[in-house]
Structure 1
């Protein structure tokens, strides 16, 4: 799904852009009976210092000027920007700044929702999607931290062993279905996008302060069996 297709199927003609370039777009749109702030990446964007600052600025503008307005992130990113300039400037700090701005928005009562509509990879996704209260994906989206050949090179674990593990556990496997099984995604959407987004935002507002159900969902779906029991055991010890 391209950015133009995304904006059409989710918002029709209601999206009003404040900024749009090849890799980032911000603005506002109508969803049901409310107006939401839209912040998105496009064109398999690399998340570098400039993109982090632009997205953080859009979050803070919403907090300052539109109290309580929902913020919806749309994601198509190939990961963090692997450039000398960005690394020398301290890209991790800029990513942390964006995440902190999202936490400020959350504490001020802004529901945060993210939707992967293209690709979501590694650190680019950690910063621009995983920090939301609820995460979703469209059917043809691709989510991954690292492909198995690259993981084999980094960890020195033979590729054959990783492929064996991937067949038994979604934790090692790319793909939106595996992230759904792990509980990270609440759902994968394939139709009625406008209605599904409106319902997801209504769920967030009804359930605030948002309960993080990802560990429980991962346990129930069989994709993340140990996190919830271990967390419960730790919480039971004073």
Structure 2
């Protein structure tokens, strides 16, 4: 689905969501209540200016104090890989955006990610993965790192990584693997109205991050939850 199709299905009565230079901002009404939308469209790389602009939009929602939910719609490239952006502190700008989303959620604005196209690396982590739950539409293509990049980092042949990815979803990009690891909670049905599906997601949001539990149940990350709990106990002196 395109962003226009998503917004039409999500807000059948109309909306005030706009796209400028690949950045998505605005809001519509869901059951007569505001639903704020931020995100990236058109496979746009997320640079310093974009990360700061999206963070500012999220913080504006927080300042309004209405505790309305925030939908983060994503079809991005990775972060903008330019020397200029790196020198300007792109890593800190992406972290600022992620922290803005985490702050909004903690202060009562439920955050739901929706990936409908591509996203990768820092852009994916700072947007879609910084929400409390992440949904996807069929055809989405998320990845934290593609296999050629993993090969460069690990010095392992791409062919070996491809073989490992068949049995270890955490190694592999793609929607099916993100579902298996628990990163994507649910794949929505584009044949059904999205307003009802997003409404249901918001109504049933977990109180905390359940990605480790989902990854364990789905077999994509069988030991992550146990290890995380062990680290937490040790940090607390248990």
TM-score range, shorter chain: over 0.9
Query: How many residues of Structure 1 are paired with residues of Structure 2 in the alignment?
Result: 233
> Quick check: 2:19–2:41 contact (8 Å CA) kept in 1?
no
Aligned to 2:209: 212
Distance 1:62 1:2, change over 3 A: same
Looking at structure 1, the residues matched to 67 and 31 of structure 2 have their Cα atoms a distance apart, in angstroms, of 16
The superposition leaves residues 198-229 of structure 1 with CA deviations (integer Å, 9 ceiling, x where unpaired) of 1001112xx4xx22111111111111011112
The superposition leaves residues 77-112 of structure 1 with CA deviations (integer Å, 9 ceiling, x where unpaired) of 111001122111010111111122222212221111
Looking at structure 2, the residues matched to 108 and 218 of structure 1 have their Cα atoms a distance apart, in angstroms, of 27
TM superposition score normalised by structure 2: 0.92
Aligned to 2:109: 110
> Quick check: 1:171–1:178 contact (8 Å CA) kept in 2?
yes
Quote the offset at 1:27 in angstroms. 0.6
Gaps of 5+ in 2: none
> Quick check: 1:22–1:43 contact (8 Å CA) kept in 2?
no
Q: Does 1:225 align with 2:222?
A: yes
Q: Secondary structure at the match of 1:103?
A: helix
Q: Which runs of 4+ in 1 moved over 4 A?
A: none
Aligned to 2:118: 119
The superposition leaves residues 133-185 of structure 1 with CA deviations (integer Å, 9 ceiling, x where unpaired) of 11110011111122222321332101221111101110111111111110111
Distance 1:63 1:147, change over 3 A: same
Looking at structure 1, the residues matched to 100 and 146 of structure 2 have their Cα atoms a distance apart, in angstroms, of 30
Looking at structure 2, the residues matched to 66 and 202 of structure 1 have their Cα atoms a distance apart, in angstroms, of 19
Query: What do you get for the CA RMSD once the two structures are aligned?
Result: 1.6
Distance 1:128 1:235, change over 3 A: closer
Looking at structure 1, the residues matched to 118 and 13 of structure 2 have their Cα atoms a distance apart, in angstroms, of 24
> Quick check: 1:67–1:108 contact (8 Å CA) kept in 2?
no
> Quick check: 2:76–2:123 contact (8 Å CA) kept in 1?
yes
Gaps of 5+ in 1: none
Q: Secondary structure at the match of 1:168?
A: coil
Aligned to 1:92: 91
Looking at structure 2, the residues matched to 233 and 154 of structure 1 have their Cα atoms a distance apart, in angstroms, of 28
Looking at structure 1, the residues matched to 81 and 13 of structure 2 have their Cα atoms a distance apart, in angstroms, of 36
Quote the offset at 1:33 in angstroms. 4.1
Q: Does 1:11 align with 2:11?
A: yes
Looking at structure 1, the residues matched to 223 and 102 of structure 2 have their Cα atoms a distance apart, in angstroms, of 27
TM superposition score normalised by structure 1: 0.92
Q: Does 1:178 align with 2:174?
A: no
